[in-house]
A = this chain, B = another copy of it.
Amino acid sequence: MANRIAKLADKIAECGLDAYVASRSPNIRYYTGSIGGSHLIVTPDRDPLLLVSVLDENVTKDQASDCTVDTYTPASLLERFADALRESHSVRVGFDDLPLQLLARIRRRLPEVCFTQNQEEVWQQRMVKDAGEIRLMSEAGRLADVAMQALKDKLAIGATEYELAAEASYAMMREGAEAHSFEFTVGSGPRSAYPHASVTDRKITRGDLIVVDIGATHGGYCSDITRTFVAGKPDGKKATIYDVVLRSHEAAFGEMKPGAGCREVDGVSRRIIEEAGYGTNYTHSLGHGVGLEIHEPPSVSQRSAERLEAGNVVSDEPGVYIHGYGGVRIEDTVLLTPKGPRRLTNFPRELENAVF
């Protein structure tokens, strides 16, 4: 963690900042290793200071490394926060995010300080995963595969969406996931046309498309996988849509190399779907970064100006959604290695494997 904080200190100096305040939990975890802690104050010359509420004092002191941990009560937070910035003689302070009212109070308390939201430097660091992070993410990916297999084993006409979600949850947690990395989607029948469908008591019916989007958290790191299943032999239209989405997914995967433009990679996936006549049914971007958070930079979209680099982990998830009919999405979590893309989720993608 010390070298992550040192890099941040260098970056803030380069940006002309005197201090940086990280308050978002995943950032605090990234720089200190602790699941507790409320505000991490980093300056180029002084020891980093992690402010923690009394509630999480013990877990933070036990877990946080390479920083001084100090506690606050609700009554003393503002004073401790201001003192730390005053002691470091900071005038230009960057921060990742702060609640509006806390920011307003700190600005009133320290009128001489210029506070600027700046997430870019932190994301530049977090976007490039190191070997330890890749190990945790590979395991998170494996847990998602295990969960998808467990769910597939219980697919049956009459099963409810939540029963299927339960099988996925059980399998991943029994093998070491500490949590779901997001709220699962098991969207069946017409509900498969909702990209984010959640889970309901709807029963699987013959002919359904079933979009299953799940992920595990392991050591704080997320995985993200989507497969689409088909209840019974698919008719021509379902088979066509499945084939188009799979080809789009595979083509984008092949382009995920260091140096590739995110916009171009999204474009490759989009062109295949457009050419098949479903362009307006592909209502989201190809992918997003994955790490300590389920949605991170870089965005692999038409609006992105970024280029992929080795160490990035992104989702590859084209989809086609037809309102009232159903949808197909096929997604893997993909690591960019210097040699090219490597899937962290590996559940089979072929249509033969999707039919039950």
**Partner-B contacts on A (CB < 8 A):** 35-36, 54-59, 62, 74-75, 97, 100-101, 103, 117, 162-163, 165-167, 169-170, 173-180, 183-184, 193-201, 217, 283-284, 303, 321, 323
The residue of chain B having its C-beta at the shortest distance from the C-beta of A55 within the complex is: B284
Q: Knowing A100-B100, A173-B169 are in contact, say whether A35-B196 is a contact too (CB < 8 A).
A: yes
**Which chain B positions have C-beta within 8 A of A55?**
195-196, 283-284
Contact A173 B178 (CB under 8 A): no
Contact B183 A162 (CB under 8 A): no
Q: Select which of B170, B197, B284 is within 8 A of A166 by beta carbon.
A: B170
**A-B contact list, 21 entries, CB within 8 Å:** A35-B196, A54-B283, A54-B284, A55-B196, A55-B284, A56-B196, A58-B321, A58-B323, A59-B195, A74-B303, A162-B175, A165-B178, A166-B170, A169-B169, A169-B170, A170-B170, A178-B198, A178-B200, A179-B183, A179-B199, A180-B180
A174 to B201, CA, bound (A): 10
Contact B97 A117 (CB under 8 A): no
A165 to B174, CA, bound (A): 8
Q: Select which of B193, B195, B201 is within 8 A of A176 by beta carbon.
A: B201
Cβ distance A62 to chain B, nearest Cβ, rounded Å: 8
Contact B197 A178 (CB under 8 A): no
With A57-B283, A59-B196, A162-B175 given, can you name 5 additional A-B contacts, CB distance below 8 Å?
A58-B193, A100-B103, A178-B200, A179-B183, A180-B180
Contact A179 B170 (CB under 8 A): no
For A169, A183, A200, A303, which residue has the most chain B Cβ atoms within 10 angstroms?
A169
A20 to B303, CA, bound (A): 30
Contact A184 B179 (CB under 8 A): yes
* Nearest 8 Cβ contacts at the A-B interface: A166-B173, A170-B170, A59-B194, A166-B174, A178-B199, A179-B183, A55-B284, A58-B323
A321 to B184, CA, bound (A): 33
Contact B173 A162 (CB under 8 A): yes
A177 to B194, CA, bound (A): 19
Q: Knowing A100-B97, A178-B183, A179-B183 are in contact, say whether A58-B194 is a contact too (CB < 8 A).
A: yes
Cβ distance A189 to chain B, nearest Cβ, rounded Å: 13
The residue of chain B having its C-beta at the shortest distance from the C-beta of A177 within the complex is: B162
Q: Knowing A100-B97, A173-B166 are in contact, say whether A179-B180 is a contact too (CB < 8 A).
A: yes
**Which chain B positions have C-beta within 8 A of A184?**
178-179
Cβ distance A59 to chain B, nearest Cβ, rounded Å: 4
A100 to B196, CA, bound (A): 25
